[in-house]
Amino acid sequence: MPAFEVELQDGLKHAVVSTAGPDRPGVSGVFFEVLARHGVQLLDVSQTDFRGQLNLAAFVGMDPLRLSDIERELRASLWDFAQRVTIETGQEVRAVSRPRSTHVVVALGNPVTAEQVSRLGATLARFGANIDRINGISDYPVTGLEFRVTLPNYTPGDGREIRRELAALSAELRVDLAMENAGLHRRAKRLVCFDCDSTLITGEVIEMLAAHAGKEDVVARVTERAMRGELDFEQSLRERVATLAGLDESVISEVAQAIQLTPGARTTIRTLKSMGYRTAVVSGGFIQVLSGLADELGLDYARANTLEIVDGKLTGRVVGTIVDRDAKAELLGEFAADSGLTMAQTVAVGDGANDISMLSSAGLGIAFNAKPALKEVADASVNFPFLDEVLYILGIPREEIDFANETAGISGRVALA
């Protein structure tokens, strides 16, 4: 990014004034009061509270003849606050704008170790990428760190090679690494669409239905082959549904009541909706099972296949258009258009080969505990069983999630097994 000189008032020189120590009320007020008495020009300010330790720094223009007085008064005024004051001047002070990071890398793990971060830093350095800033974004249910980095001579479309390196490093270190372009577009996402089985919920609905027909093993084998991309989805769906012929329709309600949401699903949907996101689910499963859950969660869109029922019995057939791999992508486009959004503003989350088209067409595709075929095309891949990780990849920190929960009177944290 090009640097530029910051304009100073006549007679002033650049300096960085900083103080560090316990975070106590009044430190900032006293700090700026002293600077104000000496006519200091503020050019940039950074203040952080890290685990009770305050770091406050100001990039300023000051009269060099007043430097000693400013330093003495700051130390005297902040003595009771146990602060350490420093002032830097001269050539070591860079009078340039803050860099605009080109990318964001999110690291998620349980645990995240210093060795993993060291390896990540070394990998980024091999590509000449500078780490501009590191922030903690999560301490539950996984540790999450967000790295803002700048790739040299970056132009849109760059970063493919480094993404491949990070994917390999992620598998080696057993820590999730997601890389996304930085900038306004990252915060412009407004629609998140989830696959259902093994993504929004923990099980496979067709297998749950098949268990009532005594055909669970048969269906599970066909499902696995389809999710690996070895079978045409429509053919495999019809083959699996055929095993349900003769089941009483009451089984649908039993299965719907037995559905288990993926850990973090409620928190994820609730947080997204509170922030103005639209939410959707598309499934190769069945709308009769899914509709109640979609209503309960307050999803904006829900689409799935329709089981044929005649005289209160499942016929072993589906009716209407099959929600397959291509249909999922088409439905995501329909949801976006209905919401007045572009595809670049969409996020898709899934786990199987039939989610490939949907994730590929979304602005951000996230593979959730996914099959290898999907990981190969996804923008990000998460491998811990918590749907909350989607929020962290979107840049939503845990503290904001917990605050939203507390405001709503909800306990968002539970003991982890």
pLDDT at 355 over 90: yes
pLDDT range class, residue 164, cuts 50, 70, 90 = confident
The catalytic residue among 132, 158, 176, 195 is 195
Q: 28-42 burial by CB neighbour count: b if 16+ within 10 A, else e?
A: eebbeebbeeeebbe
Q: How far apart are CA 265 and CA 271, in angstroms?
A: 10
pLDDT range class, residue 219, cuts 50, 70, 90 = confident
Q: Which of 59, 92, 125 is the last residue of a domain?
A: 92
**Residue 152: predicted pLDDT:** 87
- 67 and 138: one domain? no
- Distances from the Cα of 51 to the Cαs of 23, 92, 217, in angstroms? 9, 29, 52
Question: 149: which strand partners?
Answer: 103, 131
Q: What is the domain extent for residue 308?
A: 192-407
- 232 and 275: one domain? yes
- 328 and 365: one domain? yes
**Residue 363, in any domain of the structure:** yes
- 84 and 109: one domain? no
**Residue 409: predicted pLDDT:** 81
pLDDT range class, residue 197, cuts 50, 70, 90 = very high
- 278 and 197: one domain? yes
**Residue 4: predicted pLDDT:** 47
User: What pTM, to 2 d.p., does this model score?
Assistant: 0.85
- 278 and 379: one domain? yes
- Distances from the Cα of 95 to the Cαs of 5, 16, 62, in angstroms? 6, 10, 13
- The predicted-structure confidence for 284-310, as pLDDT tens digits, reads as follows 999 999 999 999 999 999 999 999 999
Residue with the larger pLDDT of the pair 232 and 122: 122
Q: Mean pLDDT across the chain, nearest whole number?
A: 91
CA angle 290, 291, 294 (to 5 degrees): 85
- 317 and 214: one domain? yes
Average pLDDT over residues 16-37: 96
The catalytic residue among 197, 379, 388, 402 is 197
Domains contained in the chain, number:
3
**Residue 261, in any domain of the structure:** yes
- 54 and 155: one domain? no
pLDDT range class, residue 411, cuts 50, 70, 90 = confident
**Residue 211, in any domain of the structure:** yes
Whether 217 is a known active-site residue: answer no
- 319 and 178: one domain? no
**Residue 412, in any domain of the structure:** no
Residue with the larger pLDDT of the pair 337 and 185: 337
- 85 and 151: one domain? no
Q: Which of 125, 158, 182 is the last residue of a domain?
A: 182
- The predicted-structure confidence for 174-183, as pLDDT tens digits, reads as follows 999 999 988 8
Percentage of the chain exceeding pLDDT 70: 94
- 246 and 365: one domain? yes
Q: 390: which residues sit within 8 A by CB, 6+ positions away?
A: 192, 268, 347, 349, 366, 368, 382
**Residue 417: predicted pLDDT:** 38
Average pLDDT over residues 224-248: 85
Q: Check which CATH number belongs to the domain holding 28 and give it.
A: 3.30.70.260
**Residue 63, in any domain of the structure:** yes
Q: Check which CATH number belongs to the domain holding 253 and give it.
A: 3.40.50.1000
Whether 197 is a known active-site residue: answer yes
Average pLDDT over residues 248-262: 95
- 107 and 87: one domain? no
